[in-house]
Structure 1
Amino acid sequence: MNRGMKGAVCMAFSRSLLLAAIGMGTAMGSGVAVAQTNDAYRKTVTQRAERIVAALDISDSGQRDRVVGLIADQYVDLSDAHAARDAALEEEGSDAQAIRDASHRVVVEHHRKFIATLSAELTPQQVDGVKNGMTYGVVPITYEGYLRLVPNLSDEQKRMILANLLEAREYAMDAGSSDEKHGWFGKYKGRINNRLSAAGIDLKQAERDLPKRRAAEQAK
């Protein structure tokens, strides 16, 4: 695709971001219905953001409110981007790959701005807490699961596992559904398992041995 065509695709995608709301309004019958739907979603993601922030131990109420707002805004921005992408994909004669590429660029830009703004408010540990909160805590849960499953992992293997899970989390944060978020972790867990298998670790045998090892530990 030449530069002119890419520019046209980007412009078309930008227009679809606006038209997505119009299309939704037409389908629902009125702009009031759209506003009510948007308000309901904003309320839902604000409540979700409040639960995430509650775990960060932020004492300053102003800072806490700002962070809640940042997280809620990110959810809304991602929802708008995904809706625009899906609306554009449904248009007759649309270039699916070009639309997905344009959507990816929009989402990446939202992600970068979100993390930068969040980092100005929080410590690195707290930013990590937000990322875990937005991805159901899969990173610490899965990492600890690997450590229990294969207790003799080398330090290098531990770093490999954690690095892959953290990379998966960056993509999962931007996913539009729970299934998509878990899908990203599933993809990277496959990479981890392949690396461990190549190192001679039999994960299926480790799973069979785990109950016996737990029983032995509890008996001590």
Structure 2
Amino acid sequence: MKKNKLFGKVFGLAVFCFAIIANTGVEAQTSAKDKQEIQAKAGNWVASLNLNDKAKEASVTNIIAAHLEAVRNWNNTHSYTTVPAGINPETGNKLSNLDRQIIVNSAMPDSVHQHLMNGLAKYLSPTQVEAILDKYTVGKVAFTFKGYEAIVPDLTDKEKQVILANLKTAREQAVDYKSMKQISAIFEIYKTKNEQYLNSNGRNWHQLYKDYVNKIKAEKAAKKSK
């Protein structure tokens, strides 16, 4: 009797979980077409490294493709609706659908990330690993860092080191998210950390950013007046 009750509870939970996945409207399995597209993307990224080693290229391509597919499937089978529409306890703001999807995706097993990073480290140099992570995040580290240098032209070496380290942490975390909106949201977390660091280091980020915007506006106005 107890065994039947236990089976009923487990079966009920399985049905509930299946309903959640079904409600996403996306099948858990990757179609043959999507697999080809993922494999092609991974292959193009690896080709840009010019490894000149077919076996190594194939291994790295398969590692990246497996990770891209795992991220895609997790995102597509774990809807934001599984997270209650509550508030962010730090800000009090209502969680957006994007916030809720990021929370869901952050629960993806750590093994998915570790398989990627360990695999890349096995076959690639640290510089090559960074190049692949940049492919995932469309070069956001370099682009964002240039922005800091433009806004705060007298950054010290220490400040540059801290800012760059935060951006690289953002990049590695962001590879586990599917869309550019999600990736950008992860970078926003670390951009906020950078701004808080600058403020705590005697800077006034708000004023620096305001001065930069005014400078750009003045330069545009000067060009139009010519």
Q: Give aligned pairs, total.
A: 185
Provide Cα deviations, 1:28-60, integer angstroms capped at 9, x if missing partner.
9xxxx987x611211221222122212212111
Alignment partners' CA distance in 1, 2:170 and 2:110: 14
Distance 1:67 1:211, change over 3 A: farther
| 1:206 pairs with one of 194, 212, 218 | 212
Which 10-residue stretch deviates more, 123-132 or 52-61? Answer: 52-61
Which whole-Å CA distance do the structure 1 matches of 2:192 and 2:80 have between them? Answer: 32
Structure 2 residue ranges without an equivalent (≥5): 1-8, 84-101, 220-226
Shift in Å, 1:124 = 0.8
User: How big is each residue's C-alpha offset from its partner over 1:49-82, in whole Å with a ceiling of 9 and x where there is no partner?
Assistant: 1222122121112211221111111011112222
Paired residue for 1:177?
179
Tell me the CA shift for residue 84 of structure 1: 3.4
Question: Where do 5+ consecutive residues of structure 1 fail to align?
Answer: 1-7, 91-99, 214-220
Query: Taking structure 1 as reference, are residues 65 and 42 closer, same or farther at Cα in structure 2, changes over 3 Å only?
Result: same
In structure 2, the partner of 1:191 is: 193
Q: Please name the residue that 1:117 is paired with.
A: 119
1:54 matched to which residue of 2? Answer: 47
Give CA deviations for 1:124-162 in whole Å, capped at 9, x if unaligned.
111111111111110111112222332210111101111
2:46 maps to amino acid: V
Q: How large is the Cα RMSD of the aligned pairs?
A: 3.5
Q: How does 1:75-86 map to 2 (within 5 A)?
A: 75-86=68-79
Identity %, equivalent residues = 23
Equivalent residue, structure 1, for 2:130: 128
TM-score normalized by the length of structure 2: 0.68
- Check conservation: 1:78, 1:107, Cα contact below 8 A: no
| Alpha-carbon shift at residue 207 of structure 1 (Å) | 3.6
**CA drift at 1:88:** 8.7
Q: What amino acid is aligned across from residue 161 of structure 2 in structure 1?
A: R
> Match of 2:168?
166
Deviations 1:185-204 (A, max 9, x none): 12211221233244224222
Report the CA distance shift for 1:16/1:160 in structure 2 as closer, same or farther (over 3 A).
same
Answer whether contact 1:197 1:203 (CA < 8 A) is retained. Answer: no
